Amino acid sequence: MSQAGEAAVVGRRERKKLVTRAAIRQAALRLALRHGVENITVEQIAVEADIATRTFFNYFSGKEEAVAAAAAAGAEALIAGFRARPATESVLRALRQAALALIDHDAATSRDYIRAIQLIRRTPSLLPHELAVLAAQEKALADAITDRLQPGAGPAVTDIYPALCAATALTALRVVLGRWLEHAGPDETPPMAILRREIDHAIADLAAGLDRPGVTPAP
């Protein structure tokens, strides 16, 4: 087989894995939303996703990880959008545009992400898995920022900026999402206009710098 043929086979294999992973993740989220995480099993998720139970464990260690992975999908789409932004854009502008594009054009990913976050907030057993997801997201965004600033440099860059910017920006977006969700009940979706406005405010604050002058005591 030629190198091109081998690459095509590998490409199809990887795409199939991504499709299977997404199917498991979506099945786990649907069942967890319907019945609660504590009331579902790996076997039920496998049936819902139309896979063998052993296949499930090729992708996830358990049901909690599979459900929490739904929250990772939104960040993966955000980072992919960030990487696709024009190289001339600043880091924060590219991140803002990627976030707004995700809201406007990928309703399914946004919906699943929001539902997963709502579920995680009311399910303590999912919190450790959320922390693992957050750590992976920060690393992926830091790598994307490094590539934007120094294309091809990769993880060898030692400057603290990419990691600090990734952690700060993702934290800001999580704060924004939390504030936005306060505008509705536990299973409702508030108006997207509010979320867009909150994202704009958060990115503007980050761009302006977080430091503020202290208050001079009155004489």
Q: Which residues contact 10 (CB under 8 A, 6 or more apart)?
A: none
End-to-end alpha carbon distance in the chain: 84
Confidence grade of residue 202 (pLDDT, cut at 50, 70, 90): very high
pLDDT over threshold 80, residue 156: no
Three-state DSSP class for residue 100:
helix
State pTM to two decimals. Answer: 0.77
Please report the sign of the dihedral spanned by the C-alpha atoms of residue 94, residue 100, residue 105, residue 107.
Answer: positive
Three-state DSSP class for residue 89:
coil
Determine the Cα–Cα distance for residues 138 and 165; give it in Å rounded to an integer: 9
Query: What share of the chain has pLDDT > 70, as a percent?
Result: 87
Buried residues in 71-84 as b, exposed as e (16+ CB within 10 A): bbbbbebbbebbbe
pLDDT over threshold 90, residue 73: no
